[in-house]
């Protein structure tokens, strides 16, 4: 049986839709990555086609097929590479005209709908405007702005938000087998995001985070040009530099928050409070701000055709020398 953690308001919306039999043709689930949009899209599809009284019942043939990811009337559409192309949408447009094999609704869950090319979105419009009564589309996107206004206007928008720390803690204990003590720490770090919570229990990520936080301490212990020796760390972690920078920024923002408030309750990296306090005493407010801005600038540079080593070395010098 699937258990939903949190999302009480969204589940209430789902139940009202089902109980009143007012299922629209299209929904748009919006919210940052990691909030459970795909999970709840499949859960809603299960509710819609459930043959039991208490939906979802997890026992009827429809629910069982959903749980086994083998339902003939539920289609999951994902990007191929970096986009969802017009050819994929043409397939959807053709498939929706075939009646469901065994269900009340034929469901298309379009994950990362924001990755649809403009041509694909335009090709999708007519189907959204005049779908067959048995058709149901669930679009999933981290941001609404990435979709054409004409697409958005044809969907009922359901917004996802971060969950309370207690919900994430319960999820970590119930689904990941984490001890209560560790779940307390990880729930702080996850900051209401299930995807972040999943990442934090991954052994490879745990090792990466530990290495990054140790590296931060090393950088601030260096003097002058000897900081350039730390380039090797960035070279070794080049393939996961985006995660490295996220960890950097999370830690340094904690230092900045603590410097501003002197209140530990706002700290995310609660397992590194001692080192946060230590670093805070060494850095001015202005310097911390400059370092954070410089790391964000470096992250933007990486999206262009920049010399990686030169960019990293400049960053290291700026971190150590920025006043």
Q: What is the pLDDT along the chain (323 residues), one digit of tens a residue?
A: 689 999 999 999 999 999 999 999 999 999 999 999 999 999 999 999 999 999 999 999 999 999 999 999 999 999 999 999 999 999 999 999 999 999 999 999 999 999 999 999 999 999 998 899 999 999 999 999 999 999 999 999 999 999 999 999 999 999 999 999 999 999 999 999 999 999 999 999 999 999 999 999 999 999 999 999 999 999 999 999 999 999 999 999 999 999 999 998 899 999 999 999 999 999 999 999 999 999 999 999 998 889 999 999 999 999 988 54
- How many Cβ atoms from other residues are within 10 Å of residue 312's Cβ? 22
**Residues 27 and 131 grouped into a single domain:** yes
**Residues 270 and 290 grouped into a single domain:** yes
**Residues 153 and 197 grouped into a single domain:** no
Of the residues 148, 172, 201, the one at which a domain ends: 201
**Residues 191 and 146 grouped into a single domain:** no
**Residues 135 and 14 grouped into a single domain:** yes
**Residues 193 and 228 grouped into a single domain:** no
In a domain, 222, yes or no: yes
In a domain, 229, yes or no: yes
Of the residues 201, 221, 253, the one at which a domain ends: 201
Predicted model pTM: 0.89
CATH code, 287: 1.20.272.10
**Residues 44 and 151 grouped into a single domain:** yes
**Residues 128 and 271 grouped into a single domain:** no
Domain extent, residue 100, equals: 8-159
**Residues 185 and 153 grouped into a single domain:** no
In a domain, 114, yes or no: yes
The count of structural domains within the chain is: 3
CATH code, 56: 3.40.50.300
**Residues 266 and 317 grouped into a single domain:** yes
**Residues 124 and 26 grouped into a single domain:** yes
């Amino acid at each position: 049986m699937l258990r939903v953690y949190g999302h009480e308001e969204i589940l209430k919306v789902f139940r009202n839709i089902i109980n009143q039999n007012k299922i629209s043709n299209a929904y748009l689930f919006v919210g940052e990555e990691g909030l459970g949009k795909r999970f709840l899209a499949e859960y809603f599809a299960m509710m819609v086609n459930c043959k039991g009284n208490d939906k979802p019942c997890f026992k009827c043939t429809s629910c069982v097929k959903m749980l086994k990811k083998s339902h003939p009337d539920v289609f999951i559409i994902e990007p191929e590479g970096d986009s969802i192309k017009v050819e994929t949408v043409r397939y959807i447009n053709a498939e929706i005209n075939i009646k469901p094999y065994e269900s009340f609704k034929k469901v298309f869950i379009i994950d990362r709908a924001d990755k649809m090319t403009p041509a694909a979105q335009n090709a999708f419009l007519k189907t959204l405007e005049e779908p067959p009564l048995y058709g149901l589309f669930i679009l999933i996107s981290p941001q609404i702005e990435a979709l054409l206004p004409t697409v958005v206007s044809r969907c009922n928008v359901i917004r996802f938000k971060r969950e309370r720390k207690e919900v994430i803690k319960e999820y970590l204990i119930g689904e990941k087998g984490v001890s209560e003590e560790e779940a307390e720490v990880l729930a702080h770090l996850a900051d209401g995001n299930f995807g972040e919570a999943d990442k934090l229990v991954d052994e490879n990520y745990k090792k990466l985070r530990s290495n990054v936080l140790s590296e931060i301490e090393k950088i601030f212990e260096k003097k002058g040009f000897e900081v350039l020796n730390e380039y090797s760390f960035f070279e070794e972690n080049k393939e996961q530099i985006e995660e490295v920078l996220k960890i950097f920024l999370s830690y340094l923002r904690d230092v900045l928050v603590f410097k501003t408030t002197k209140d530990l309750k706002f700290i995310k990296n609660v397992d590194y409070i001692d080192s946060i306090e230590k670093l805070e005493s060494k850095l001015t407010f202005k310097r911390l701000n400059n370092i954070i801005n410089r790391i964000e600038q470096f992250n933007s540079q990486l999206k262009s055709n920049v010399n990686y080593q030169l960019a990293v070395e400049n960053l290291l010098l700026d971190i150590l020398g920025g006043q």
